[in-house]
Every structure is written in structure tokens, then in C-alpha cells.
Structure 1
């Protein structure tokens, strides 16, 4: 498991009211670029990758009324750091299901993965999947509906630190 203190950054947690996938990704990209987390060509690559290899995840298997999520990412060459970027969406945005790419999913929360190690995304993805599997449904419902970046950061940082202590 990776070090949670370095997996999240307080200035890389976002709440977006954008109505469309590409607009959400652009808004987050603009902030990440300004802070030096990603490179200038990141946006076109993450949008293209999301269109070709959707990352929407149907969370109905995790419990009742848990909002769907997406885990957008792109190759490490477009990224300057290793970070999980949580993004809460004030209204659901359509992404497509990673298992069934033809199926549109209304998504309410993103875990954008940034990893400048070409082979590192699997580790970040495993961390997110462990979080989903280990967190009670009521807590997932709660955090996926948070609209305060500080609350999202504090919750996720604590959960990932607790998981590290168990491992």
C-alpha cells in the first residue's frame, strides 16, 4: 500500500458543478496544471482515454443508493506526481461503464489517478478499490455526497491512513 500522506493533497480536492464529462475534466485539469501536478498535454490525453476506455464504475454492488463513481486517468508521461484527486460532482455527470462501455452511468464522484510512474497506476487503482471494498456502504454514500473539499480530504486521508495501519 502506498503512503496516504502523499496520496492526497488538500489543494487537489475539488467540487465541480460542471454538467458534462469533458467540462469536469477541463475544470480539474486547469487547477492541476496551475499547481504543477500535470503537464500541458494532460487534458487531451485524459479526455481521449476516457472516451476510448471508459472508467465509470457501477457501485450498486457495494450497497443500496451509493452514487456511481469514475476513475479517470491517463499515462504517466503527462503527469508530474503521484496523487489521487477526489472530485465531488454537485449534479451527476454521464460517464460510461468500464465493464460495459456502451452503458452510460450517472456518476457523482471521481477518483482521478495521477501517477508519473508508467507502471504505478495499478497500485493507485488497487488502493481505491480496497477503499471501496473496505468502507461501509453508509460511509461511501456520505462521502460521495460531500460538497466541502476539506471534509472530503479529511475523510479520505483518514480512511487511507487507517487502512495502512491494518496492513
Structure 2
């Protein structure tokens, strides 16, 4: 019998593997699913897209480990979401994001940690938790996460490894 995993920042129904050709397509696909799940408000997609254009979230992971794929941490203001969750999204093919640190630099990103946070005080805290997870997790844990082909594996890795 499988062990049930509890982690209130993750929801097994809100972990995705997406096959989009660009940021806009992936944002739309995931936003539509989040809306159906009741996790976001109808105007989430447009605000998420707009915020990403103005405040890029791509992260160059080669500074942590050259073997890791680049990630992005897209999010928008809490008024457009209904829950406090991290939505992991594995991309079947890398898509371009602007670098958070150097916005003129474009990165090929393969994994998203989308933050849904209806608590305005908690945004920086969740971002810090994600960065801590990415920089302190074992190479084995991250390889399993980044190599996962299904949402259940992604959820299980994060729910069991992510420190609250």
C-alpha cells in the first residue's frame, strides 16, 4: 500500500507535465487547468503573463550545478489566486524565459515552480523556500525531480523532500 504524503504547499492535482512551444502557450494551458480546479481567478493568466514580461523569473541553475536544467518561478499578485500552493510544471521541451538577474539574457527553461499565493506577506518566503530546496537538495533528489515524466512522481518527490 502506498504511503500518503502530506505537504500543504503541494497538491497532487496541481502538478503538471506540459508540452508547449513557448511561455504563452504553457501559461495558458496551466492557467486554464488551475481555473477549473478553483485555484485561481479568471484574470490570473493575463496578470501572470504581464508580470513575467515586466519581472522575469528565469534562473540559471548552472551556478548550482551544470547538470541541472534552468528553472523559472512565475507568479503574480495574490489578488488573482485563491490558494497558497507551489505548482510544479515539467516542460517536455525547454522554452525561453528572461533571466531574473540579467533580464537581457535569455535562458532555456525546463521546469517551472509557479507560485500561487493569496497571502501577500508570504510571497518572498515561498520564493526563499524554493531557492533553498534547489540549492540544498541532493543531486539524486533533483535528478529524480527534473527527470520525472509524470505529475505523480513530481508531486511525490516534492512532497517528501521539500522543507516547509
Q: Which TM-score applies when normalising by structure 2?
A: 0.93
Which of the residues 137, 151, 158 maps onto 2:139?
A: 137
Unaligned runs of 5+ in 2: 1-5
State the alpha-carbon separation in 1 of the partners of residues 153 and 144 from structure 2: 11
Unaligned runs of 5+ in 1: none
**Counterpart for residue 71 of structure 1:** 73
What's the C-alpha RMSD, in Å, of the aligned pairs? 1.1
**Counterpart for residue 51 of structure 1:** 53
Instruction: Tell me which stretches of 4 or more aligned residues in structure 1 moved more than 4 Å.
Output: none
Deviates most, 141-150 or 13-22? 141-150
State the alpha-carbon separation in 1 of the partners of residues 143 and 103 from structure 2: 24
Contact kept? 1:55, 1:96, Cα under 8 Å? yes
**Counterpart for residue 97 of structure 1:** 99
2:115 alignment partner, SS class: strand
**Counterpart for residue 125 of structure 2:** 123
**Counterpart for residue 30 of structure 1:** 32
Is 1:15 aligned with 2:25? no
Residue 118 (structure 1) shift: 1.5
Contact kept? 1:62, 1:137, Cα under 8 Å? no
Residue 48 (structure 1) shift: 0.3
Contact kept? 1:67, 1:141, Cα under 8 Å? no
Q: Which TM-score applies when normalising by structure 1?
A: 0.92
